[in-house]
Chain A
Amino acid sequence: MVDLPEGYAGEGFYATSFDKVVGLARKNSLWPLPFATSCCGIEFMATMASNYDLARFGSERMGFTPRQCDMLLVAGTISKKLGPILRQVYIQMAEPRWVVAIGACASSGGIFDSYSVLQGIDQIIPVDVYVPGCPPRPEGILDGILKLQELVGNESLRRRTSEKYKELMESYGIK
């Protein structure tokens, strides 16, 4: 059970702001879309499985279609050739959408400082949470997802229509 958000309760009623209720619902039912390419993907599989059990945090099943998911988990090295495909997957996701870069490669290119490897996915899509590690342990990935839940729970309902958000998207060339 999650804690009630701050509000006003009385006999037979409970009042709080819409932002908080929507945030609460969103953060506890994030649908993950795994985009796994290498060893971080293996760690992520362990995170999903029974020992670490991502489902405890409301992410019961992986969705393998961007249309249904709101949390893109990029786990692994993204080569420059793969970049446009990842970008396409992100564009296909409906708002609101969040991105977690799992591991050093997705965050910064990692050890692959090479002509063929994208030096961090934030060069092509906006990232909300970076999980460090090479690869990160499942605990690290869970921590990253909990950090993302904090962001999601506290996000203003007006953020996605704000000028600032539009500017951010335009800086990535995404409409």
Chain B
Amino acid sequence: MNYDNIKELLTAKFGEQIQYDLQHDLLNITLPAEMNLKVIQFLYDDEVLRFRFLTDITAVHLPERAGEELNVVYHLHSLENNIRLRLKVYVPIEKPDVFTLTSLYPGANWMERETYDFFGVNFVGHPNLKRILNADEMDYFPLRKEYTLEDPQRTDKDDEMFGR
């Protein structure tokens, strides 16, 4: 089992909608946002592939990509084949809807809550999509690029002294 087999299987099942490239020796699979659950379900269910372990979910905010500013990234691991995959979907920041993976991987619950907490990705079908790490009163998504990393309420640290 190698990346070429996986590409063949996916192409046979889903056609040309999926793009592949190799980044740092890890296969990168870019798919349309509405297909994420279908493709991951296939990777999970397939008797040979058996991608039964979800390593991580995160997101990246790419403000320069108009119409697909938010990039949701999944890392999957097939423990039996010892193969890892990275799946990417792009969604517009006005409507960042992605299907939840909680039906496949119970561990996705908190990972999706974290991704929601920091980037505001709306995981459709998530049973309990609310903030997990930040304070509940927080009214923005802090890792989006339009917000500063520093504490916005602080006024005593000026540029001259602290390089802001």
Contact = CB atoms under 8 A, between A and B. Distances in A.
Interface in A73-132: 79-81, 83, 109, 113-117, 119
Chain B facing A: main interface SS: loop
Contact of B150 (A79, A83, A114): A114
Interface in A45-99: 79-81, 83
Interface residues of B, number: 16
Contacts, number: 34
B135 A113 contact: no
Contacts of B152: 115
Contacts of B153: 119
Contacts of A109: 151, 154
Contacts of B138: 80
A113 B157 contact: yes
A81 B135 contact: yes
B150 A113 contact: yes
A115 B151 contact: yes
B147 interface: yes
B141 to A, nearest CB: 10
Contacts of B149: 114-115
A77 to B, nearest CB: 13
Contacts of A116: 133-135, 142
Given A80-B135, A81-B135, A113 B154 contact: yes
Contact of A114 (B135, B136, B151, B162): B151
Chain A facing B: main interface SS: loop
Nearest to B143: A115
B159 to A, nearest CB: 13
Interface in B24-83: none
Contacts of B154: 109, 113, 119
A115 B157 contact: no
A130 B142 CA distance: 30
B70 to A, nearest CB: 19
Contacts of B136: 81
A81 B134 contact: yes
Interface string B120-143: 000000000000011110100010
Given A80-B138, A81-B136, A116-B133, 13 more contacts: A80-B135, A109-B154, A113-B151, A113-B154, A113-B157, A114-B149, A114-B150, A115-B142, A115-B149, A115-B151, A116-B135, A116-B142, A117-B151
Interface of A: 79-81, 83, 109, 113-117, 119
Interface of B: 133-136, 138, 142, 147-154, 157, 162
7 contacts: A79-B135, A81-B136, A113-B154, A114-B150, A116-B133, A119-B151, A119-B153
